[in-house]
Chain A
Amino acid sequence: MASIEIGSYEPPSDTNLARSVARILLRAVGLTMTIAVAVAVGIWSSQFMVSRGSLLSTDSYGPWEHWRNLGRDFADPYTKAHIANSGKLRIASNSAGVFEARTDNLGARLHSSCNYVIEGSNMSGMWWSLAVFDARGRLIANDANRYTFTADTVAPNPNGSFIVTLGRDARPGNWLPTSGAGRLVLVLTILDPSTGLSDEARAERNKMLPIIRREGCS
């Protein structure tokens, strides 16, 4: 006849129980914190990629950002969300190039406390406009009622190129006032010709976007 040996039951000590409970609590807190941070990172990364774009949705040409499938049927979700949430009314990217700049050519944030010179090349045959806004897309109120220059209203150089200046104080030439606006956003719109533009011609156009040079800050 087989015999079964039954070991005596030893209740866990208070110290071991406390350690086990502490370990479980620590894991629960760790898991909760991980999930909370992951949720925050997920929301933040989505909002950033929707508002500012990323390599998935935008192209950069110096300081100029371009949403490559803006307004097109097959646009990626970030581009669609960008248009839906920002309230922007933009011409589709297969009909015009719309470029936004938030920095100068050296990568420093555009700000109304600084003066800037924007040098553009001759874009004859194309209609373009260059407008300055504050960071929320509002026009910057000024006594001169100057907010934008276009191919029709800019005073060009003899060779067809142009220079636009941004700054607080009035200057001769193509000056756009920016006083008190804080961070600035430049928007350059270049309409494609009515006959359309080939991909090669579009790439060539994108290489010749204006240079934004900071002159000084006060």
Chain B
Amino acid sequence: MNLKSFFERIDWRLMMIFILVAAIVHVVETFLAVNDQRNAAYARLARELPHNTMTVVNPVSPEHQVLPYLAPDARYAFCPFETANSAMHVRALLPDLGWTIGIYAPDGSGIYFAAASADRETTIDLSIIPSDDRFLGLPAQTPGRPGTDNEQTIAAPKGLIVVRAPDKGAPYRAQEDAILAKATCASGRT
């Protein structure tokens, strides 16, 4: 069969229907997947952990792997938060290279991220307010916070705060756990 007779045998109407239906289904399926947040990291952790409280989870291991592809290269503290009733206040110390703090929207997109530098420790001080224009009271006076490098206010109705302490090996674990345990997220006035 030569090329000409091959093309003559194709039903072009069916071919167009095929391409059109496949394209429509592809687009619909993709957007359904975007909006299906049931398996997202936020949804999984929000089901398991208390809200508006920083929780240091067990060291990641095959028995304690809270999320897929979560490596035991770090200890983690999570805080699923909602700012529906009041603003959130977040404070964390990032003492050395590899320490990070990230704030994620429920869909997994990053709202805020900071990493420590190698030569000095960094204290992160964040206020998270709802993204609408609600009045949540007057901001508290906070003149006496020494050593705070990053005081910022960000807007997010809900999401996930993740503080990450890199695993440097057994001799450092107790010290890292102690610093990680001091990370806080609490609801209250800004």
Interface residues on B, range: 35 or more
Tell me the minimal C-beta distance from B2 to chain A in angstroms. 24
* A31 to B14 CA separation, bound complex (whole angstroms): 7
B67 adjacent to A77 (CB under 8 Å): no
B62 / chain A contacts, CB cutoff of 8 Å? 138-141, 147
B31 CB-CB contact with A under 8 Å: yes
Give residues 103-121 of B contacting A (CB, 8 Å).
104, 107-110, 113-118
| Contact among B25, B71, B160 with A43 in the assembled complex (CB-CB below 8 Å) | B25
A42 CB-CB contact with B under 8 Å: yes
B17 adjacent to A34 (CB under 8 Å): yes
B67 adjacent to A153 (CB under 8 Å): no
Q: A39-B25, A81-B34, A89-B162 are in contact. Are A71 and B17 (CB under 8 A)?
A: no
B60 adjacent to A139 (CB under 8 Å): yes
Q: A38-B21, A194-B116, A195-B117 are in contact. Are A148 and B14 (CB under 8 A)?
A: no
Instruction: Give the contact stretch, choosing among A9-17, A113-121, A127-135.
Output: A127-135
Instruction: Give the contact stretch, choosing among A46-54, A58-66, A163-171, A200-208.
Output: A46-54
* A71 to B44 CA separation, bound complex (whole angstroms): 17
Q: A87-B44, A150-B166, A152-B167 are in contact. Are A137 and B68 (CB under 8 A)?
A: yes
A141 / chain B contacts, CB cutoff of 8 Å? 62
| Contact among B14, B23, B162 with A42 in the assembled complex (CB-CB below 8 Å) | B23
Q: A49-B30, A92-B113, A137-B69 are in contact. Are A34 and B98 (CB under 8 A)?
A: no
B122 / chain A contacts, CB cutoff of 8 Å? 194
Interface residue tally for chain A (C-beta within 8 Å): 61
* A148 to B17 CA separation, bound complex (whole angstroms): 50
Q: A95-B115, A191-B98 are in contact. Are A87 and B109 (CB under 8 A)?
A: no
Binding site for A on B (CB under 8 A): 11, 14, 17-31, 33-37, 39-41, 44, 60-62, 65, 67-74, 97-98, 100, 102, 104, 107-110, 113-118, 122, 160, 162, 166-169
21 pairs, A vs B, C-beta closer than 8 Å: A30-B14, A34-B18, A38-B18, A41-B22, A42-B25, A71-B108, A75-B109, A80-B107, A84-B33, A85-B36, A87-B39, A88-B41, A91-B110, A95-B110, A129-B74, A133-B71, A137-B68, A150-B73, A150-B98, A153-B169, A191-B98
Binding site for B on A (CB under 8 A): 30-31, 34-35, 37-39, 41-43, 45-47, 49-50, 71-73, 75, 77-78, 80-81, 83-92, 94-95, 125, 127, 129, 131, 133, 136-141, 145, 147-148, 150-153, 185, 187, 189, 191-195
The 7 A-B residue pairs with the shortest CB-CB distance in the complex, in nearest-first order: A42-B25, A137-B68, A131-B71, A83-B108, A129-B73, A92-B110, A38-B21
